[in-house]
Amino acid sequence: MAWKKVNKIVKKECSSSKQDAPKKSNRRSKCVVEDTCKFCKETSLREDDQMVICEHCEDFICISSVFLIPYTIMLFLAGLPMFFMELALGQYVGLGPNMLFQNMAPLFSGLGIGMPIVSFYCCVYFGVIMAWSIYYTFSSFTAELPWGSCDNDFNTPECATVEDVRMCEENSTYYYDHSCLSLEKICGLEGYDTYNDTLCYDANTTTTLTPGEAVHRMSSSEDFYKNGVLGALDPLPCVVLTVILGFGLTLDGATEGIQFYFLQPNVTKLLEIEVWTDASTQIFYSLGVAFGSLITLSSYNKFNTNCMRDALVVATCNCLTSVYAGFALFSVLGALAHELDVPVSEVVTSGSGLAFIAASAVLNMPPPQLWSILFFVMFITIGLSSQFAMVETVNTALYDQWPALRRHKLAVSLAVCSLMFALGSPMCLQGGVYIFELFNLYSTGVSVLVLAFVEVILVHYIYGHRKILQHIQDEMGIHIPLLLRGYWHITWLLLTPASVLLILALSLVFWVPAYWGDYLLPQVAQILGWLICLSSVVWLPLMALVVVCKQEYTGMALVRPTELMCPAAERRRREK
């Protein structure tokens, strides 16, 4: 509802521009991670999980808990099997994705290049979300929260608080649009020209300074996290969500919000293809499957760590956290709908900024400044963990491909993060949110599904699922109960590849171009988006062609594992 009001204002200012939306590795001598589970937990709990799948919230607001049905089904059909598979592979070989797939089947070397590229793109726009969080955190150090009143420079005459009049416009929406996004000064991409200096500095902080300092002080981001700098804040998300839920339950209308969320599902939405494609995409994004980060982080693990336990715990907690966060969010939305005397479904619509607009929940929590700070510090800590994992994925790929770079970790990290900052800077321009949505939609959508499908076919049909189970049980010493063994067999061989292929096909057939609100990005932007998507997938045929032309491997050797497809200790002996 609030989004619709903003869109109307932008329409008035620029109606003419609107369109209808429709080699030898020394990794273990440097750092050994005791437990992958801790890393994967932080990687999976991204900002969008805390707001219960905000990226697809247009459907979610309409169908409430119904979204959790395909979400859970796709978790067990594809998410969990691939999550465990990647943890086991990385832990067994002790290499990043680029060298892992190069040694598993030389013809598929491009798979190990595409994954770090996806993580790289994700870091580019993820830094902007971090910048928004930092911006909100520092904005909370005021006598009155900026989104709690209409007496700010960014407000327009149409702004009104709930206390003033019961209108459909929330000031928190105005604060997000006019302070973070600067939407009032642009008319789509045509008016995209001026920097938001504050956000530019914040994005620089999250993408360049933080990873650089981590490498400088601790040699790697894993050490930085392992030493407890961020680990001490692990319970913060659950604490903040619990407080918001507890407070929300005391408000009038909270029960209506929870009933809408959990007890009044619109089951007819399950017949819509988009709900299933959204759920599948969210599972892959949430768990980090096919991003390369799981393989990278587990490659630092001890050889006999029980990664199956980690996979089961993390995947389950990830899903339960989404459900729990939904109760917290909808208790507040229900109270807000009660104050405005409107249905819960009209309180807020979709968008990447829902988590920031939902910050209005803390306005009535004394003292609001404290809870606002904790609320956004929660996002920062979760975001930093995800950012560290993805940056390390890119760095590890470079180190494994060119081992000499390990002697220059600080320089490599600063170079990588500086490049991320440079590419993310246009998103700090007025109207940069359109570029943000372009990256958000095209860099981690179809490309991730393509990489995931090729990965599962390579690992279980070409390399062999029995070899994987042999590595896990006989060599790594992980006991797999009979029931779970049957589950891994049927999902790896049938259900996972079939579901991923189906969702990929449906995503392409029912593709919706990138847009923000009512503004459909122009054709040139959509073409740019597809180029971003193809830039990670094109390495599959490109590297296959390179390997064939080099004639280093011929015949069946192209799809057979090399002698270096073995545990790290054995590989070091063979390399000597």
CA 70 to chain centre: 19
> At which residue do the structure tokens 């932007």 appear?
525
Query: Which DSSP state fits 179?
Result: I
Distance CA 421, CA 490 (A): 43
Q: What pairs with residue 33 in β-bridges?
A: 301
> At which residue do the structure tokens 């989104």 appear?
147
Distance CA 168, CA 348 (A): 9
- C-alpha angle with apex 71: 532 to 378, nearest 5 degrees? 75
> At which residue do the structure tokens 């919706």 appear?
512
At 429, give phi and psi (nearest 5°): -70, 160
Distance CA 447, CA 79 (A): 16
CA 399 to chain centre: 24
> At which residue do the structure tokens 């990489």 appear?
451
Sign for the CA dihedral angle at 216, 222, 227, 232 comes to positive
Distance CA 572, CA 90 (A): 16
Whether residue 286 is annotated as binding a ligand: the answer is: yes
Whether residue 425 is annotated as binding a ligand: the answer is: no
Distance CA 477, CA 456 (A): 23
**Residue 205: CA count within 13 A, CB half-sphere:** 15
At 33, give phi and psi (nearest 5°): -90, 125
Q: How many helices (H) and strands (E) does the chain have?
A: 29, 2
How long a stretch of residues is the chain? 576
Distance CA 201, CA 204 (A): 5
Distance CA 112, CA 158 (A): 51
Whether residue 171 is annotated as binding a ligand: the answer is: no
Neighbours of 482 (CB within 10 A): 7
Q: What pairs with residue 301 in β-bridges?
A: 33
Residue 289, token pair as written in the block: 């499957």
Torsion-angle region of 153 (φ positive above 0: left; ψ -120 to 50: alpha; else: beta): alpha
Q: What pairs with residue 516 in β-bridges?
A: 519
Annotated binding site for Na(+): 286, 318, 386
